[in-house]
Structure 1
Amino acid sequence: MAKASEAEKAAKPNVFMRIGLFIKQIIDEMRKVVTPTGKELLGWSFAVFIFVLLLMAFVTAMDFGLGKLVMLVFG
């Protein structure tokens, strides 16, 4: 039984080593991030703005249409 406990301790690093490994992995992933150019940022911002406007128009139409339908059904 004592050998199994020692093997588990050897396989599982302590909490500070795990935190250090986690931070190292975060830094390694952040090095892979590519910053967009100004032109790309402007293009994507415009695309998101248009998408939000279309979504707002869709939700407004659904709200108006369902409101009219409810008034028609329940008067």
Structure 2
Amino acid sequence: MAKANKPEKNEKPNIFMRIGLFIKQVIDELRKVVTPTAKGLLGWSVAVLVFVLLLMVIVTSMDFGLGKLTLWIFG
């Protein structure tokens, strides 16, 4: 029996087939994206703003505290 004309496992498909597969996968993933509602978008925006402000306070206080500590040790 003759073997079917299949590519070997270590053989890559040609570049156009790989690009086509990539585009198909991108389109499939984009179909899963859900647009947020106005209420959800506002809620997440406020949550991100609060988180960023909290991190700013933490970093600023660490900078101020470590600066004072350095001046106390070496000053």
Using structure 2 for the length normalisation, give the TM-score. Answer: 0.85
Alpha carbon RMSD of aligned pairs, Å?
1.6
1:49 aligns with 2:55: no
Cα distance in 2 for partners of 1:74, 1:30 equals: 57
Where does the alignment leave 5 or more consecutive residues of structure 1 unmatched? 1-5
- With normalisation by structure 1, the TM-score equals 0.85
Task: Give the aligned residue type for 2:73.
Answer: V
Amino acid aligned to 2:63: D
Structure with greater helix share of residues = 1
1:15 counterpart residue number:
15
Query: SS where residue 8 of structure 2 aligns?
Result: helix
Which sections of structure 2, spanning at least 5 residues, go unmatched? Answer: 1-5
After TM superposition, where is structure 1 displaced by more than 3 Å over at least 4 residues in a row? 6-9
Secondary structure of 1:73 counterpart = helix
Q: Give the match for residue 59 of structure 2.
A: 59
Instruction: Please state how far the C-alpha of 1:13 moved relative to its aligned partner.
Output: 1.4
